[in-house]
Structure 1
């Protein structure tokens, strides 16, 4: 086996495990070290294997800790595990757990706690919404256990001793270390779970191993947490109290922010520009690892015109991306010229040629390509765009329709309910279709796997070289190289029209430090936060 370190700075992280939570030079800590954030809905469960939404994950991340955490850029860093070894065939991970890790009741955190949690995740009897995640991780026998064909004890995870956890995979999975930062993989205290029954996550009863303990939980009202004195790195945790307030309405959340009740809230749609003027040091637009696009149907049910690469390129070139992000959205979104966003940790997104052209140059090239393909006066290109009902989707569709009209393209708009739209995508019953994709994990394959011939791939795109590169990425020393090559193939084959990469506009108190704002959604940890004296 080869010893692997999680980041180039791992040795420093081990020496100063919570360095991010310490004030920078010249900063002084405020006396108040409380933090309050907004939840948009009630959190119905704090069980890490049953939490199925991103906001629930925000809470469980404070109460529990997995093998690895994420740094501000999304890269994996030590959590309960100090590091791992990877076998030569890249299918067996051996994690080394820190002996000082403790549960909030004083029990040691052991490898067996992780084994129990992972078996519990895969076990159909648990009824976890995230059972599919253990399959995504490619843990040996995961699919068979999830489907009830094998027992949970046959899952490819083993506690060699209290501080050594071995995980066997069915195939090499380069992004596996990133997957074990997910809440579904967090350990559970077996004695607490057995004794507590269905109510084991209740306030003052939940036994966690995170930096905070649960002090109160009023369903749909608030969740209160306090610093855990038994957390292995409690000496570096600065924020004393953390509170989550449920506020379903975005405008109401903004009002409570202005009243000083909340320290971070999303900005209601369309208000980013005005709030940035009012709060220049607090309004931020955070890139998200999501892409909004129009898919071409290249399958048997798709129109013949779209089989012509010249047509697909012309439609992509003529898409009015700048109009969409600057006039329609206005929340800091960025024009997209490729499928995979550059916000993915470790991935340098190649820039297609058209990204450097002016809108006028793109239109000229689009006209020339359509003419080459045989379309023009007397023979207009006629297509239908399908999209689900939403005011913003409609505005973007109208902008595309107007831009294409300049080329003599007649684009009919077909606005339908979400259920109908989803059914048509699944059946391949569309010509062009609105689509959005966000990464399930912080790695380029979360996007690129979509376009494998065997991927979700609603547009039925197929390119053997693309598939070969994605297969090669599983065993490549640096998978980002084949990922970049695969992204360049997509830019050339144009199976979609990338339109924009998402952004999240938020207000964050200007005395808060430690929140990752390079991209969103990115895991944040209250243990890394602190307030400075203003």
Structure 2
């Protein structure tokens, strides 16, 4: 997903809000008593794509889809894996084959049984290029993936690496070693689809049938999506509330005002304009925790002046011209932490001493030297632009970066603004953004691969994944391939560190910062746990009676 994907060692701990006494027409209530039928309202924006798991590539869609569907595994607030629909996932010695055993008695909300074939069909559909699923590249390490990458081919062609042994057993043969696979199946693209979905996938995406704690109720475009608790759900994520309303907001300031007035229960991102004051807001409960979101500026590989030696010099100059700490303090009021690598603080392998990391240090003099050296190869011309969407939280920091570029490098710099996140994400996916652009990763699964492969591997370029700058490096890919053969994560860390040295040299994206969870809840809300994705655990939000 453009904004999606993350986790492992240190994670995001649940935030428990203390509720006060509450009265009602029925008489006094016990302090903090919650209503299991409560309708919980939360902020969102319009999803970029229909509500199909394998076509979900933005946070707005992820929020909804993950409430409608359960998968093989999930992860707790610290990134530890929990088996959900899988009873076991067993690798062979070199991570080239996996045996998945399902729990018996699994069903979709419409009563359809979930079997090993259900997963095999769903994954083949998702991986087949003829079906146009945005998450197809997540299956690229499974045997047979390359043979079904013809977008004009047979949409029913399947992944040859999937063998249905019996109703509960699925064997997965990998085209190459993939030690991250037991984590990767936690990606939204691996969620199962019922047989009815394939009859009219577009219609299904507008009215999905899932197997999660909630059922789909309604979707009014550009207004919101409503879900209701599924009483037949028997999985581990039982809903503690009656329903969820995901409300679309064009402005986070408008959402914040609704939260202040008690019209919105939970706002998962505080607008930049309120970061300095939201902790003191008497009408709201502040929620602040470390988060998994890595933010960056992607530099498309095809941009003029950004290839070869000239491009390397300019990327380094632009990275050193960003005052990350100054922006973190002045614009974000300390709600972000300047980046020191390409992972997130909540991920095993995150470090501040990777070879080459000095390129993210603010050094105006060195930035000017590098820019001058690049000009000696080919003089700079034109305006440097940064793209973002107006309905997000990016204007203030983008303006600060642009101002820094003009001041330090003496160049013209301007914003490239898209009206909505949906339009921006669509343009990024279609390669219609001819400038730097706001980007980032929050991995669906707690493994360094979720950032380093998904964001920068050649297999994820050209619209096949999240490598939206289309960066390609044989050296980088080879290091990651070696890491993938090591089932023991600790043993693969050396390779993941080495891979990051290549990223610091090539700078396909300029690391910016890691965003903390800065959220608010109304006084009527009691519990808002936050999960490994830095988003609310929606099924566990409770509200006072």
TM-score, length basis structure 1: 0.72
Specify the alignment match of 1:480 in structure 2: 493
Is 1:72 the counterpart of 2:77? The answer is: yes
Quote how far apart the aligned CAs of 1:145 are. Answer: 5.5
1:277 pairs with 276, 280, 283, which one?
280
Equivalent residue runs for 1:458-473 within 5 Å: 466-473=476-483
| Secondary structure of 1:154's aligned partner | coil
1:328 pairs with 328, 331, 342, which one?
331
1:515 pairs with 510, 524, 529, which one?
529
Specify the alignment match of 1:40 in structure 2: 45
Quote how far apart the aligned CAs of 1:473 are. Answer: 1.5
Is 1:225 the counterpart of 2:214? The answer is: no
8 Å contact from structure 2 (residues 218, 226) kept in 1: yes
Within 2, Cα distance between the matches of 1:43 and 1:455?
A: 19
Specify the alignment match of 1:17 in structure 2: none
Within 1, Cα distance between the matches of 2:56 and 2:300?
A: 35
1:326-383 per-position Cα deviation (integer Å, ceiling 9, x unaligned): 2234471222233x132453232243589899989x567778x779x989xxxxx978
| Residues 212/473 of structure 1: CA separation in 2 closer, same or farther (3 Å cut) | same
| Residues 121/262 of structure 1: CA separation in 2 closer, same or farther (3 Å cut) | same
Quote how far apart the aligned CAs of 1:483 are. Answer: 0.9
| Secondary structure of 1:282's aligned partner | strand
1:218-261 per-position Cα deviation (integer Å, ceiling 9, x unaligned): 5644413114334244xx73503121142323333223323334
Quote how far apart the aligned CAs of 1:114 are. Answer: 1.4
Specify the alignment match of 1:208 in structure 2: 210
8 Å contact from structure 2 (residues 387, 438) kept in 1: no
| Secondary structure of 1:152's aligned partner | coil
Within 2, Cα distance between the matches of 1:195 and 1:467?
A: 38
Number of residue pairs aligned between Structure 1 and Structure 2: 493
Quote how far apart the aligned CAs of 1:414 are. Answer: 5.9
1:372-402 per-position Cα deviation (integer Å, ceiling 9, x unaligned): x989xxxxx9787621366542431212332
8 Å contact from structure 1 (residues 123, 148) kept in 2: no
2:103 pairs with 98, 106, 118, which one?
98
**RMSD of aligned residue pairs (Cα, Å):** 5.0
| Secondary structure of 2:66's aligned partner | helix
Quote how far apart the aligned CAs of 1:308 are. Answer: 7.9
Higher mean alpha-carbon deviation, 242-251 vs 439-448, is at 439-448
Specify the alignment match of 2:4 in structure 1: none
8 Å contact from structure 1 (residues 36, 244) kept in 2: yes
Specify the alignment match of 1:398 in structure 2: 403
Quote how far apart the aligned CAs of 1:100 are. Answer: 3.8
Specify the alignment match of 2:158 in structure 1: 154
Structure 2, unaligned runs of 5 or more: 1-6, 19-29, 389-394, 462-466
| Residues 144/417 of structure 1: CA separation in 2 closer, same or farther (3 Å cut) | same
8 Å contact from structure 1 (residues 211, 237) kept in 2: yes
| Residues 386/136 of structure 1: CA separation in 2 closer, same or farther (3 Å cut) | farther
Structure 1, unaligned runs of 5 or more: 1-6, 10-19, 376-380
Equivalent residue runs for 1:105-144 within 5 Å: 105-123=110-128, 127-130=131-134, 132-136=136-140, 138-141=142-145, 143-144=147-148
| Secondary structure of 2:164's aligned partner | strand
Tell which structure's C-alpha radius of gyration is larger.
1
Higher mean alpha-carbon deviation, 296-305 vs 223-232, is at 296-305
Quote how far apart the aligned CAs of 1:72 are. Answer: 1.7
Specify the alignment match of 2:411 in structure 1: 411
Within 2, Cα distance between the matches of 1:222 and 1:429?
A: 32
8 Å contact from structure 2 (residues 108, 194) kept in 1: yes
| Residues 347/100 of structure 1: CA separation in 2 closer, same or farther (3 Å cut) | farther
Within 2, Cα distance between the matches of 1:530 and 1:135?
A: 33
8 Å contact from structure 1 (residues 140, 168) kept in 2: no
| Residues 112/499 of structure 1: CA separation in 2 closer, same or farther (3 Å cut) | closer
Specify the alignment match of 1:262 in structure 2: 264
1:498 pairs with 511, 524, 528, which one?
511
